Amino acid sequence: MFRSRPRAAIGAALFGAFALLVFHGPVYFHHFPVDDAFITFRYSKHLADGLGPNWNSEGHVEGYTSFLWMALLAAANKLGVDISDAARVFDYLTTFGTMVAVVAIWRLWSSASPGSGVDSPLVLAVALLAIAVIDGIAFWGFSGMETPLFMFLLTAGAYIFLRDRRSTGAPWSAVAFAALALARPEGVIAAAVTGLFALDGVQDPLRRRRAILRAATWAAIFLALFGAYFLWRYSYYGYPFPNTYYAKVDTPGDVLQRGAGYVSAAALAYHLLPMYAGAALLLLIQPLRRDAAYVVALTAVLLLAAIPEGGDVFGHGRFIVPVLPLLYLAGISGYAMALASLPFDAARKSLAAVAVVGLAGLLLLRRSDNSFLPDAREAQVERKLLGVWLSEHTPEDYTIAAWAVGSIAYYSDRDVLDLLGLNDEVIAHTEIDGFGTGIAGHEKYNADYVLEIVQPEIIVTGDADPAPLDEEAFWLTYGGAGGLPAKAAIMTDPRLRAMYDVRSVEIQGRWFNYLQRRNTIATTPDG
């Protein structure tokens, strides 16, 4: 039935899987931009407003990770579209685009290996179903972050490269991977792997000259596009890497150990080893051997690249999910080929496949049970409320300091001091003892810089409380040494109590308790 009506089967698999993913993501996870998404939103708004891709009104700091995502949102905002709405639309488009790219790769492989088992529409259906039930794709695919854009460009770029290898035309994949490198710094690593595979054929004396010329053309296109961008950003920000790199990566030993644990946990959660074993089976099919080797190398190198990054504080495998569509398609295709070669009739093969796929799907879906999501959504609501209140009740020249800066910075429209350094050059480059042993991205601090040099007018110490706190209750709640060491370093500093008073404000039935520099209290109204 499937083979007699392949287009209908492909369409049903594609749109059915996307519908499931939409239910799994925006409905089940209750689509909401995570706090870090608002960091990029702020840069995009400043760029659209003519202030440049900057965090504050003065200074240049690259606290966003994805230039392309930031630029796309800025362009949409310049056209009058709300940035959060634009991010939501791009989330849908790029996540669906990833599925379309998976369909394109499967069609390429099907035409190259008819009768191998890979060409069955069931292979595509299972691969798309796996994408739809993976918690990380459902969460990060609709999070307002650049993850779905990076995933789409990686999958689509791989498809264009595989198609380039089958033609003599221009190597358009170089353009795709230049865009990927603008979407996240890891895109440069993916481009390097692809560039090496572009040398395919150089070992053959008859093909060597053409292979070298083609690879050189590929490299020239990529370097021309990415090189121009890199020269601009280096001259503008003054560093070879984004500021987020310096805030998160430092002492190699501890960071590598944490990153290795992050990748190992993801390997178990997302069944990466079985998928690589399945992908390796494709090496046995001559028409797909080179494609399989490329997909295995590309995804493996990107996974290994997450190790020196030190992992991630967020759940749902943010640095892992971009490689999963490619890896799952390759792995499932390999197992389909092996299943097709077994001496069983079609009914038994189908029964075995359904049993295995059903079990694997349930194992993947169980990670979607995240009991912390309701609290995270409520925190986002509270930070927006506080940000708007700060915009309406503080002078424009105030500096607001916070540890969770995304929503507060975006909605307050004030200069904001990022106390964890993701958006502050001085804190990001501060040396910290024991760096790499704490929570990724939440370790950098500099109390002297905050309290002696910047001296922000307001310090936001947390989200809403059940009631207003007096001095004693506030310091009992927020002034302890427990919890985040980077926060405790500020909150336990005696200079803080000497300079700041506790303030409370009620906003829509929620109480926010914060610190205000004592010599500025007369300039702002009581809450």
Query: What are 6-37's pLDDT values in tens digits?
Result: 778 788 889 988 998 998 888 877 777 899 99
Asked if the model's pLDDT at residue 355 lies above 50, the reply is yes
Burial class (CB in 10 A: 0-12, 13-18, 19+), 229: middle
Please provide the average confidence, as pLDDT, over all residues in the chain. 90
Assess whether pLDDT exceeds 70 at residue 523.
no
Give me the pLDDT at residue 438, please. Answer: 86
Instruction: Name which of 363-377, 394-408, 411-425, 475-489 the model is least confident about.
Output: 363-377
Task: Output the pLDDT for position 357.
Answer: 63
User: What is the C-alpha to C-alpha distance for residues 351 and 342, in angstroms, rounded to an integer?
Assistant: 13
Higher-confidence residue: 439 or 179? 179
Helix or strand (DSSP H, E) at 164: helix 147-164
Average pLDDT over residues 456-464: 96
- Give the single-character DSSP code of 516: E
Give dist(CA 286, CA 119) in Å, integer.
15
Q: Give the residue, 333 or 344, on which the prediction is more confident.
A: 333
* For residues 438-457, average pLDDT: 94
Mean pLDDT of 299-325: 92
Q: Buried (b) or exposed (e) across 331-352, using 16+ Cβ within 10 A?
A: bbbbbbbebbeeeeeeeebeee
**Percent of the chain scored above 70 by pLDDT?**
91
Count other C-beta atoms under 10 Å from residue 279's C-beta.
27
Q: What is the pLDDT of residue 12?
A: 85
Q: What is the mean pLDDT of residues 55-83?
A: 96
Whether the Cβ atoms of residue 110 and residue 57 lie closer than 8 Å to each other: no
Q: How sure is the predictor about 435, in pLDDT bands with cuts at 50, 70 and 90? A: confident
Average pLDDT over residues 498-508: 96
Question: Predicted confidence band at 232 (pLDDT cuts at 50, 70, 90)?
Answer: very high
Sheet of strand 458-460: strand arrangement: 415-418, 399-402, 458-460, 510-517, 500-507
Look at residue 1 and tell me whether its pLDDT is greater than 50: no
pLDDT of the residue at 311: 86
349 and 339 Cβ atoms separated by less than 8 Å: yes
So what's the pLDDT on residue 148? 96
- Is 159:106 a contact under the CB 8 Å cutoff? no
More confident residue, 441 or 466: 466
Helix axes 173-183, 147-164, angle to 10 degrees: 160
**Euclidean distance between CA atoms 62 and 237, whole angstroms:** 7
pLDDT surpassing 90 at residue 215:
no
| DSSP three-state, residue 230 | helix
For residue 512, give the H/E element and its range.
strand 510-517
Across the range 236-240, mean pLDDT stands at: 95
Note whether 153 and 176 are within 8 A (CB).
yes
In terms of average pLDDT, the best of 113-122, 209-218, 505-514 is 505-514
Rg of the chain (C-alpha set): 25
Burial class (CB in 10 A: 0-12, 13-18, 19+), 446: buried
Mean per-residue pLDDT for 290-308?
Answer: 95
3-state SS assignment for residue 501 = strand
pLDDT of residue 4: 47
The answer to whether 403 and 420 are in contact (CB under 8 A) is yes
Residue 214 confidence class, pLDDT cut points 50, 70, 90:
confident
Which pLDDT band holds residue 371 (cuts at 50, 70, 90)?
confident
The residues that bridge with 517 in the sheet, in sequence order, are 500
Q: What is the dihedral of CA 50, 54, 58, 59, to 10 degrees?
A: -130
Poorest-confidence range of 120-129, 154-163, 451-460, 494-503?
120-129
DSSP secondary structure of 415-451: EEEETTSTT-HHHHT---TTTTSS-TT-----HHIII
pLDDT at 345: 64
Q: Is 517 helix (H, G, I), strand (E, B) or coil?
A: strand
Q: Of 385 and 345, which is predicted with more confidence?
A: 385
Residue 430 sits at the vertex; the CA angle it makes with 233 and 312, to the nearest 5 degrees, is 70
Phi, psi (degrees; rounded to nearest 5) at 306: -70, -20
Q: What is the distance in angstroms between the CA of the first residue and the CA of the last residue of the chain?
A: 68
Position 354 scores a pLDDT of: 61
Give the number of C-alpha atoms closer than 13 A to the C-alpha of residue 359, restricted to the C-beta side: 6
The answer to whether residue 2 scores a pLDDT higher than 50 is no
Higher pLDDT among residues 468 and 364, named by residue: 468
pLDDT at 376: 86
